[in-house]
Structure 1
Amino acid sequence: MVKRDRAGSRASGPPDLAKVSGDDLLLRSWLHNRGENTRRAYERDARAFMAYAGKPLGEVVLDDLQAWFDCLDGSDATRRRKLSAVKSLLAFGATMRVLPTDEGAAFRLERARDTLHERILPEEDVARMIDSETDPRRHALLRVLYVLGLRISEACGLTWRDMTRRQQGGIASIFGKGAKTRSVVVPAKLWKELVALRVDKRPDAPVVPGHEGGPLHVKAADRIAKRAARRAGLSSAVSAHWLRHACCSHSQDRGAPPHVVQAQLGHASLATTTRYSHVREGDGAGKYLD
């Protein structure tokens, strides 16, 4: 059972500017107007680098960045994401003339091998994940992540104010990455499942609530997905985001036009969507040559 679906919060007063360093002010400006999840992740990465360097950002040199990157743990994708965040901060500081130079500009990495295919589950694996979940609330969450292809933060933030009933199913208004709003069709079967789950009739009630009826926290949602994957006998690496990958891939495999899938998932580029396309059985350029 999930012990806490809701994260606690601490009230914070106005900052004492006399105690705020120049690096803190730069960090705050760099993070301004970014989405909550992006801001939290970028700040964590930037502060980890600042702690490692042990010096003001204005004194950082390329060697500091290279040494930090070399000692990072985690997957290649995670290390590259952290490096990208810090390089962005240093470039911003140089552009704003707060830093003397952009020391990250000279740090070049070869393009990583695309391993996306390793994170796309077969349809039968996804079915086992979802079917093995007997709790209605958690089952609905898994279905929302897969059928609608939402990011975990989007699924947790979805309220009934965002839902519009249609003759068949409904429409979910998703406020997503990049502060962009998109409309996602909710199929009739999933709509009925969500309505059956609803107890709180207020417009701001969560569509998929936590176990106490309040908002579902992203960490709790990811635990739900990981436990479902474990019951299905899948890798411990499987996370809630893999269901979004599966949605993008499986829908195209079944004939959904890439531009329709792009609009539903909120991809900025069609190229991102088509990365999930698979060569269908019996198709391929070679058959026209042999």
Structure 2
Amino acid sequence: MVSGDQPRSAAPAAPDDGLNRADIPLVKTWLHNRSSHTVRAYRADVAEFARFVAKPMADVVLEDLQAWHDSMSDASDSTRRRKLSAVKSLLTYGHKLDFLPHDAGMAFRLERGRDSLNERILTRPQVLAMIAGEADPRRHGLLALLYGTGVRLSEACTLRWRDMTRRQSGGIATVFGKGGKTRHVQVAASLWKELVALRVDDGPDAPVVPGHDGGPLHIRAAHRVVKRAAKRAGLAPDASAHWLRHAFASHQLDAGQNVHWVQAQLGHSSLATTTRYSHASADTVGADLLA
């Protein structure tokens, strides 16, 4: 079981809400063996599209995608691209399997949006204000873990003490991340000490950041922790956990850390993804951003 930071009053909607019954097997095979976070996000996007068109995927045509795109005029460019990319991926997959008679998304061209990464990188004082404003030790530890290591929110929620290895200076977290890749993330000494203080029991499966009942912290509860911390610090409403990951990368590079070290820490497949944040001078040890 996983836990949140407050009771839930109603059960969440069924994940297949809106999907035509004939499309459920296709969606399940398309999402097979993806991370739980990816499954939730992609399924929600596809279900939203299915509710909009109110027809099976086999009957979807280009005009349906165009109409859905136009209906999302109030959404950000990145949100529209994400949702349309998910649906296009499903349609292509279904056509390749001969589950769908044609690929309606093939002719729909997604425009590349401008690179707005700089707008999502917080300053170090802003991040430290987020963390300092949280009095609860568990929530404080979550924020510190996100910024101090650059791990994704889903990765932080699934970390167990069996994944943590003590070192002379801090430790190493073995993270099973996006794309089914495992990486080893450096944990600074000050952060390690804070996380140890949160430990609820000595078992190897104890969560590194526990929920209110000592069980694993649910990703939705963790998301709320970040949102509330950002609001207290007076940050933009769309600030999220991923902004802390951006901040980690940018601030480490600004501190002079080796770009390959930052790439390994974040689990980026391409060095070009990492170098978007900054240019770095050579160094071999990560800075303790929380010290």
Alignment-mate amino acid for residue 155 of structure 1? A
| Greater mean alpha carbon deviation, residues 71-80 or residues 86-95 | 71-80
Structure 1 regions of 5+ residues with no counterpart? 11-19, 281-290
Letter in 2 for 1:185: Q
CA distance in 2, matches of 1:154, 1:279: 26
The aligned counterpart of 1:284 is: none
2:118 paired residue number: 117
The residue aligned with 2:228 is: 227
**Contact 2:150–2:246 under 8 Å retained in 1:** yes
Which AA in structure 2 matches 1:35? S
Q: 1:183 to 1:9 in 2, by over 3 A?
A: farther
> Rg bigger for which structure?
1
Hey, what does 1:55 align to over in structure 2? 55
Distance 2:279 2:128 in 1: 19
- Equivalent position amino acid for 1:39 in 2: V
User: Structure 1 residues 124, 22: closer, same or farther in 2, change over 3 A?
Assistant: same
Structure 1 residue 85: deviation in Å? 0.2
Q: CA 1:219–1:51 in structure 2 vs 1: closer, same or farther (change >3 Å)?
A: same
Structure 1 8/270 Cα, relative in aligned 2: closer, same or farther at 3 Å?
farther
Unaligned runs of 5+ in 2: 14-19, 282-291
- Indicate the residue corresponding to 1:209 in structure 2: 210
Identify if the C-alpha distance between structure 1 residues 126 and 273 changes in structure 2 by more than 3 Å, giving closer, same or farther.
same
Shift of 1:279: 9.4
**Corresponding residue for 2:263?**
262
Question: Secondary structure, in 3 states, of the residue corresponding to 1:167?
Answer: coil
* Residue of structure 2 in register with 1:141 after alignment: 142
SS state of the match for residue 245, structure 2?
A: helix
Q: Cα gap change, 1:234/1:276 in structure 2, threshold over 3 Å: closer, same or farther?
A: same
**Other structure's SS at 1:171 match:** strand
Amino acid at match of 1:221: A
Q: How does 1:175-186 map onto structure 2 within 5 Å?
A: 175-186=176-187
Supply the AA of the counterpart residue of 1:32: H
Counterpart amino acid of residue 135 in structure 1: D
Distance of 1:21 and 1:137 partners within structure 2: 42
Partner of 1:103: 104
2-structure distance, mates of 1:208, 1:111: 37
TM-score (norm 2): 0.88
RMSD between superposed Cα atoms in Å = 2.1
Distance 2:93 2:12 in 1: 30
Partner residue of 2:83?
Answer: 82
| Identity among equivalent pairs (%) | 62
CA distance in 2, matches of 1:255, 1:97: 51
Asked if 1 retains the 8 angstrom alpha-carbon contact of 2:153 and 2:219, the reply is yes
Residue 68 (1) aligns with residue 71 (2) = no
How much does 1:234 deviate?
1.6
Deviations, residues 88-120 of structure 1 (Å, cap 9, x unaligned): 001011111121211101111221101111000
Question: Helix, strand or coil: the match of 2:108?
Answer: coil
Show the counterpart of 1:218. 219
Amino acid at match of 2:157: C
> Normalized against structure 1, the TM-score is what?
0.88
**Ranges of 4+ aligned residues in structure 1 off by more than 6 Å:** 7-10
Aligned residues, how many? 270
Q: What SS does the aligned partner of 2:165 have?
A: strand
Deviation at 1:257, TM superposition (A): 1.5
What amino acid sits opposite 2:56 in the alignment? P
Q: d(CA) in 1 for partners of 2:227 and 2:31?
A: 30
How do 1:124-163 and structure 2 match up within 5 A?
124-163=125-164
Q: Would you say the 8 A contact 1:183–1:264 is kept in 2?
A: yes
CA distance in structure 1 between the partners assigned to 2:178 and 2:195 by the alignment? 24
- CA apart distance, 1:249: 0.7
Letter in 2 for 1:29: T
Q: CA deviation at 1:240?
A: 1.6
Partner of 1:39: 39
CA distance in 1, matches of 2:233, 2:43: 35
Contact 1:4 1:220 in 2 (8 A): no
Deviation at 1:177, TM superposition (A): 0.5
